[in-house]
Amino acid sequence: MTATRRHHRSLAVIVNCLGVIAALPALPAAAPRAAAAPANPAPAAAPAAPVDRATPIPTGAPAAPPAVPPAKPAPVPMSNPPVTVAMTAANTPAPGYQIQLRNGGNSVVETTVRQQLPAGSTATMVSSGGRVAPGAGSASSREVTWRLRLPAQGTTTLHTALSTTAAGRPVSAPACAYGTDSTRPYDCATATWTDGATAAAATAATPGWRRPPVLLAGLAVLLVVTPGVLAWRFRRRQRSDLAPAGPAATSAGAPTLAGGAAGPPERGTVYPRPALPTRAGRRTPPLWLMVGVAVAVLAGVVGAAAWTATQRVAAIDTAKQPTSGAWMGRSVTGAVGTPLRESAFEFTVYRVVCGAGALPSATAGGRQCLATVGVRNLTSDEQTWHGELQRAYLPDGNWVAADEDATRVANLGRDVFAQPVAAGSRVILPLVFTVRGGDQPKQLELRSGVFSAGVRVDVP
């Protein structure tokens, strides 16, 4: 046997041994040796019950579980409440509203409807069953309350009329339908009443030449007509320069004498040569035409820029408090019941109540203020927001962030800040702020992210 063949056989033996050693842990353990039977077995022994033996665990270290990515919280789904609320403003000289409630379920639903009255207004007409009571917020707040039993697949319409001291201003009076606990709403809606006569009078009182549409229309006409007039004058002048001259004096015949007799021709007379035709060429416009067109275009650009800057400056609210981290968008301020948009969300505060009636589980750590807030995601992606960015400002300038533990209790144990808001969805939920002392929050600041300017809502 050659040396090469011996080497090959040795290598094959080693490889086979390694394979057997590697396969030993996967083999089942040997069955235990059966106990020796006695020489004289008992004749009437009952058969033993079968013993279930578990499958032996292979020896060696247990295999590591497969890597599982962390579970991402599901976005908050679009709410589908049993009771929906729709609201419209009446076309009346005084503020008026129609509140339509619909029960989309197959059973009777008991609900409490609350309409927040704006500051400085009183209710002059309320539908049957409604009563006006002081709100649970400030001493001057008022609200209209109805307790209703909505039949299955039924619809109910409520009416209210208000009188306000702010004549000619838009008035918003939101309404919400709550469950039996009066904490978590089924649905909310808002409407803004506008005095059409006052708006028309304000528009008519403005001179026509000061209205932005009229100014822009006049500027556009000037930019279109001016170049046309200048071009027409330039072409007319060019045609007049190219017109042929009148017939020349007689040059072939001799000069006539007095009495009509022709005199003898004079030698050496130089006859005028016929005018050569001018070469048709493209003449450049005159300097005054180019300067006029440039001035007209420059005036239009400057006018449009000045008007845009004036509108932006007029829209700035100088009484607003500065916001920290307001890098995206511009902060917007509004009243309760007014939809306010920022970079990602549209916030609508429907109701703000403070004190013992705000939450059934109010603690002794401070006064709890409950804000019923509607959040609509305006983007095409789901958005996550945070409780520490939602703030309530006190009259002394201090602020408190949303109480996340109390907010979780108000939302029946659900952490609304841990779940993102789905794209295009709208959710209505209560936010709780715990304040010290007896001061009422004067303003709420709501934002979707730390780099968003957010919105500010004035609390009556």
Which has the minimum average pLDDT: 324-333, 427-436, 449-458?
324-333
Chain centre distance of CA 14: 72
- Return the half-sphere exposure (C-beta side, CA atoms, 13 A cut-off) of residue 328: 12
3-state secondary structure 295-325: HHHHHHHHHHHHHHHHHHHHCCCCCCCCCCC
What does DSSP assign to residue 26? G
Q: Which ranges of 344-416 would DSSP assign to H, the alpha helix? A: 404-410
Of the candidates 287, 265, 275, the one whose C-alpha atom is nearest the C-alpha of residue 244 is: 275
Q: What is the mean pLDDT of residues 275-280?
A: 54
Q: What is the mean pLDDT of residues 339-346?
A: 93
pLDDT at residue 318 is higher than 50: no
Task: State how far the Cα of 215 lies from the Cα of 213, in Å rounded to an integer.
Answer: 5
Task: Find the helix or strand (DSSP H, E) in which 226 lies.
Answer: helix 212-242
Q: In what order do the strands lie in the sheet with 426-435?
A: 340-341, 345-354, 367-377, 426-435
Tell me the C-alpha to C-alpha distance, in Å, between residue 332 and each of 16, 322, 339, 341: 79, 11, 10, 7
pLDDT number for residue 233:
73
pLDDT at residue 62 is higher than 80: no
**What's at 241, amino acid-wise?**
D
pLDDT number for residue 15:
63
CB 46 within 8 A of CB 60: no
Residues in the chain: 460
pLDDT at residue 268 is higher than 60: no
Query: What does the mean pLDDT of the chain come to?
Result: 74
**What's at 17, amino acid-wise?**
C
CB 411 within 8 A of CB 361: no
CB 293 within 8 A of CB 226: yes
Task: State how far the Cα of 274 lies from the Cα of 403, in Å rounded to an integer.
Answer: 104
CA dihedral 122, 84, 333, 199 (to 10 degrees): -60
Q: What is the pLDDT of residues 158-217, one digit of tens each?
A: 999 999 877 778 899 999 999 877 778 999 999 999 886 554 554 455 566 556 666 667
**Cross-strand partners of 333:** 456
Q: What is the mean pLDDT of residues 403-422?
A: 92
Task: State how far the Cα of 72 lies from the Cα of 355, in Å rounded to an integer.
Answer: 37
pLDDT number for residue 427:
93
Chain centre distance of CA 154: 33
Q: What is the mean pLDDT of residues 351-372?
A: 74
Highest mean pLDDT among 242-246, 258-262, 302-306, 347-351: 347-351
Which has the minimum average pLDDT: 143-152, 210-219, 371-380?
210-219
Q: Which residue has the tokens 């511009």?
A: 330
Q: What is the pLDDT of residues 225-238, one digit of tens each?
A: 777 777 777 777 76
pLDDT-derived band at 432 (thresholds 50, 70, 90) equals very high
CB 383 within 8 A of CB 448: yes
* Phi, psi angles (nearest 5°) of residue 104: -90, 0
The tokens describing 67, both together, are 């890597």
Q: Which ranges of 141-211 would DSSP assign to H, the alpha helix? A: 196-205
Q: Which residues of 281-308 are buried (b: 16+ CB within 10 A; e: fewer)?
A: eeeeeeeeeeebbeebeeebeeeeeeee
Task: State how far the Cα of 28 lies from the Cα of 57, in Å rounded to an integer.
Answer: 8
Of the candidates 120, 116, 156, 119, the one whose C-alpha atom is nearest the C-alpha of residue 132 is: 116
pLDDT number for residue 322:
45
Decide which of 239 and 113 is more confident: 113
pLDDT at residue 307 is higher than 80: no
pLDDT number for residue 251:
46
Decide which of 92 and 288 is more confident: 92
Task: Find the helix or strand (DSSP H, E) in which 350 lies.
Answer: strand 345-354
Q: What is the mean pLDDT of residues 442-453?
A: 91
CB 382 within 8 A of CB 425: no
Query: What one-character-per-residue DSSP string does 436-448 give?
Result: STTPPP-EEEE-S
Q: In what order do the strands lie in the sheet with 121-126?
A: 83-89, 96-103, 155-164, 121-126
The tokens describing 292, both together, are 């006029």
Angular region, 268: left φ>0, alpha ψ -120 to 50, beta rest: left
